[in-house]
Amino acid sequence: KTKGKKPIRYPDINYVCVEPVSFEQIETLPKPEKDLWLKSMRDEFNSLSKYKVFTEVKREKDMEVVPCRWVYKVKQGENNSVQRKSRLVAKGLCQKKIINYDETFSPTVKPETFKTALAVASVKQMNVNHFDIKTAYLNAPLNEIVYMQQIPVFLVKTNRQS
């Protein structure tokens, strides 16, 4: 079930794609659609692995472990193509201030600033390019150690005996 979400319809495409709300929902999709979502999840996992975002550690009794989940999004790509994005996120609501973090910050650009930059570029006849940095958030250093549960679906393989 999509919990009241309407399917996303793209112009000029005879295709309807539903954003899953859970991995369990992906498992119920027809094989071609399921495989495309699994590929999206694999791409995210490979990116996290490539940049060494996580290290497996043995769980101790006193560790505060934050659960995680997958978030899925359908986007319109170039030439009206359908792109499936999967992101692994920590369930931050389970974290406790001072224990797991001491401040929150997310840099954003105000719409007015963005519009001003576009206006200046237009007046000066400058080219404006757009690009997506897939794993930009991975470059932000953390001062705290965060313990997150094993990633659902993609369990880290180790040589360690359990």
Q: Kindly state the average pLDDT of the residues 121-130.
A: 90
pLDDT at 1: 47
Rounded mean pLDDT, 25-42: 91
How much is the mean pLDDT over the chain? 77
C-beta separation of 144 from 61 below 8 A: no
The pLDDT of residue 119 is above 60: yes
Distance from the Cα of residue 117 to its chain's centroid: 28
Burial of 21 (0-12, 13-18, 19+ CB in 10 A): middle
44, two tokens: 């995210």
Task: Say if CB 147 and CB 63 are below 8 A apart.
Answer: yes
Query: Tens digits of per-residue pLDDT, 71-90?
Result: 999 887 777 788 899 988 88
With CA atoms as reference, report the closest residue to 155 among 61, 41, 32: 41
**Looking at residue 13, what is its pLDDT?**
45
Report the pLDDT value the prediction gives residue 135, as an integer from 0 to 100.
63
pLDDT tens digits for 139-149? 667 777 788 88
More confident residue, 40 or 137: 40
Q: Which residues pair with 71 in a beta bridge?
A: 87
Residue indicated by tokens 């393989």: 157
* 96 has pLDDT over 80: no
Average pLDDT over residues 81-109: 72
